[in-house]
Chain A
Amino acid sequence: MSIKTFREALNEAMAEEMARDNSVFLMGEEVAQYDGAYKVSKGLLAKFGAERVIDTPISEAGFAGLGVGAAMAGLRPIIEMMTWNFAIQAFDQIINHAAKMCYMSGGQFNIPLVFRGPNGAAHMLGAQHSQNLDPLLVNVPGLKIVSVSTPADGKGLLKSAIRDNNPVIFFESEMMYGMKGEVPDGEYLIPLGVADIKRPGTEVTLLTWGKITHLALRAANQLANDENIDVEVIDLRSLVPLDEALIYASVRKTHRVVIVEENWPYASVGSHLAERIQWHCFDDLDAPIAKISQRAVPIPYADNLEHAALPQVEQVIAAVKAVCYR
């Protein structure tokens, strides 16, 4: 194990996969000479050259589509979106093409492509730079969706995403790139579709993913200290495919569920989780499922308003206490 930042871990994942397979290339705005808007691709240009680390014009729809075509012709593109907010420009290529090509060609043209970049609110970036697109994209059949919370998970899952033969949406966060964590030495992969128990517990199952996992863990630790409630925090890591077995096993143990998401509440990922759990674990539940989402407003700019719009530790604590009838 070594301590690495999130950006170093992601960088290593790409460098290792590019060294392993010549058909992998990285393309996006500022990924080459500038070393990436958030320095995730630092040094890759020097290592792999301008043929494989490519600065694009500001043309998200264009280079997303280019990635789809390159994948159809046998390459394995990594397309960096400077932020997922900008990828909305490319939704035609992501939703109409990357996601559907394999299916509508009767399995002839699979798309081995990773679209990666930061997702969700950072801090005071305003409404157009603070969106979380999980619910929009999980709704589309044909996309695998990964949302990571630690450097180690980031590396292991990004390597698997690059090797996957399907389009993978890979969600990161601006707020986490500098975060440090233990990363295993040597090559390792984490399979897509396997959730991780970030904190074992017995009394309440707390389901979360991505950056907000850290907030959920803070809440869980506080609940253990102050309220003597033992919360199990499950980081889903991959939203599609979803590790339903691990979720249900935990619910059958704790009988109480709180979902913590950085989604807008209406038809969110959490809504789907709640629907699945009530169907599969109805008799195991001792309380209604609680869901903490961000407020249904465009994310505001002012510090206090942004704070009010995003889920906070206090809300999670209150929700956990509520499902425990305390």
Chain B
Amino acid sequence: MLRSLCATSSDKEFTIDLYQKMLRYRLFEERVNLAYTKQKFSGFCHLHIGQEAVCAGIGACLTKDDYVIASYRSHTQALNKGISPEQVFAELFGKASGCSAGKGGSMHMFSREHRFMGGHGIVGSQVPIATGIAFAIRYRQEKLVAICYLGDGAMNQGQIYEAFNMASLWKLPVIFVIENNQYGMGTDYHRVTSVSEFTSRAPGFNLPWRVIDGMNVLTVYQEFLPIITEVRAKMLPYLVEMKTYRYLGHSVSDPATYRSKEELSHYRQNDPLSQMADYLKGKGFAREDEFEQWDNDIRAEINAAEVRAEAAAAPDEASVDEHVFVD
């Protein structure tokens, strides 16, 4: 059992760790954003800034053998599952040392070792795949869980409902986590969704469901832990909606002009890092200068990872033909 699985919100070490994780994700994505704007790499690049509490909180509920699968917005989930910042950077830079050997890029981070089953670039497509991973867990009667992250945009994609039906029908241990950041690319989900709450669809699949404030990492952790415990014990699926918000555009090239400044500033006032910082200060777990120290340390660690990744070798050109098939 991981220590975090019996941790509480009054546990100093545990709560500081949650804060530092979110800080690492924030600083990492900011650095990625900068690298992209400096044209150090190309392609599509979707950032998680503003949504850090979701995977930090859920990550604290997972064992290393649990599976995680995600969409194309998944740098921080890859980090959360244990892939190093250097490997993620190297993948972004298209280097041989990247977590997908330079064959995947921003949208396709993978690690068999860490059971990170990919970032997937087709909206919603990871949902049936997650269901298959959960099928394998049940097939082997393991005490494991598959976590499937999907965005609000995926909630109107047809194949996810086929997967919901099968997951529920066959009682597969998968938790579908909607990271509802309110916009599918530039479209407010209310404009394209026939119901006001996604979870109102859950009863139609006999899926247990819960809505969680995804801006507060302690809330995420405290409310997700009993869900995953139940899923693990009883082998059943769950639909969890995390209400969250992304501060930046859909991808780095999107200025996000489709939403108001007021809306953004409202969410920034509920920033997951600020909320947790206030909590740690209120509890007397950390002093002002310690926050500064963590910020400096993590920043230095991420910058160093970027430097190493940038200096790493590009894939051998001969590898273009490798991995189409295995023996």
Contact = CB atoms under 8 A, between A and B. Distances in A.
B245 interface: no
Nearest to B104: A104
A25 B158 CA distance: 25
Nearest to B99: A106
B326 interface: yes
Contacts of A66: 128-129, 131-132, 135, 163, 166
A74 B69 CA distance: 15
A56 B139 CA distance: 16
B122 interface: yes
B101 interface: yes
B98 A68 contact: no
Interface stretch (A92-100, A129-137, A220-228): A92-100
A153 B327 CA distance: 22
Contacts of A165: 325-327
Q: Is the interface of B mostly helix, strand, loop or mixed?
A: mixed
B101 A63 contact: no
Interface in B87-143: 98-104, 108, 110-112, 117-118, 120-122, 125, 127-137, 139
A155 B225 CA distance: 49
Nearest to A62: B162
B131 A96 contact: no
Given A72-B132, A105-B110, A144 B104 contact: no
Contacts of A72: 117, 129, 132-133
A101 interface: yes
Contacts of B103: 103-106
A71 interface: yes
Contact of B111 (A25, A65, A102, A108): A108
A62 B170 CA distance: 13
Contact of A65 (B129, B165, B325): B129
Interface size class of A (residues with CB under 8 A): 35 or more
A106 B98 contact: yes
Contacts of A56: 166
Contacts of A57: 162, 165-166, 169
Interface size class of B (residues with CB under 8 A): 35 or more
A61 B324 CA distance: 23
A250 interface: no
B132 A68 contact: yes
A104 B100 contact: yes
A298 interface: no
A283 interface: no
Interface string A155-180: 00000000001100000000000000
B101 A107 contact: yes
A108 B114 CA distance: 11
Most A Cβ at <10 Å: residue of B108, B135, B159, B325: B325
B326 A61 contact: no
B323 interface: yes
25 contacts: A25-B139, A57-B169, A59-B166, A62-B166, A65-B125, A65-B159, A66-B129, A66-B163, A68-B128, A69-B135, A70-B136, A73-B67, A77-B132, A96-B121, A96-B122, A101-B118, A102-B326, A103-B324, A104-B104, A105-B100, A105-B103, A106-B104, A108-B110, A144-B325, A165-B327
List 5 tightest A-B contacts by C-beta distance, closest first: A69-B132, A65-B128, A62-B162, A106-B101, A59-B162
Interface of B: 67, 69, 98-104, 108, 110-112, 117-118, 120-122, 125, 127-137, 139, 146, 158-159, 162-163, 165-166, 169, 322-327
